[in-house]
Amino acid sequence: MKPIKISYNSYAHNQYKADLRRLERLLNDFFSITDKYVQTEDKNSYKGNLYKTFLTNVEEKYRVNFPIISVEKMCDFLEIPLHQLSKISTDVNSVDIEIDYNTLKAKEPDFSVYATTKDEIEKVNQLQPLLKELNNLMLSGTRVYPMDICRGLGGRISYDTSENTFIPSTNYILHSHRILG
């Protein structure tokens, strides 16, 4: 059976957008610091571990000038803020979004909620005629109290305030054991 879209997870979408903005800001901060010391053609080469990749690049570039000291000491002499870069690297790794470091673009996942099982799809199909009539009633200009209708139907339908339409209740479709009635 073909899945039917029943809802949209706007909370997860907003959280994703916030995480993406944070990730973009962190990467911009990281590369604005590192570009002063090591120019990077392909920032995607830093994927995996920003901090270690940067240290490797610093070592390759400056090892000739500092033959016998550690990379951390080299960075100390160059006044590179390693603690800040380490913190940014940790923060970037904590965000679970696959992003292109060069363009700072990411493929947005689908935040729709679907009815997938036979039972769930059957429930949605049973509610469709009622939803159609209620939405037509809303369009006709008749005064309707959506929350009273939702409550009267035992939570089997919901009202989408952004679209001003009645929709199947995600809770009823996916978790019918929680609905009394």
Range of the domain at 155: 117-178
How many distinct structural domains can be found in the chain?
A: 2
Q: What is the pLDDT of residues 4-25, one digit of tens each?
A: 998 888 899 999 999 999 999 9
pTM score over 0.85: no
Helix (H, G, I), strand (E, B) or coil at 158: strand
pLDDT number for residue 76: 92
Q: Which of 80, 106, 132 is the last residue of a domain?
A: 106
Residue 71 lies in a domain: yes
Strand partners, 100: 105
* C-alpha to C-alpha distance for 43 and 21, rounded to whole angstroms: 18
Residue 76 CB contacts under 8 Å (≥ 6 apart), including other chains: 82
Helix (H, G, I), strand (E, B) or coil at 87: helix
Q: What is the pLDDT of residues 26-74, one digit of tens each?
A: 999 999 999 999 988 899 999 988 999 999 999 999 888 888 899 999 9
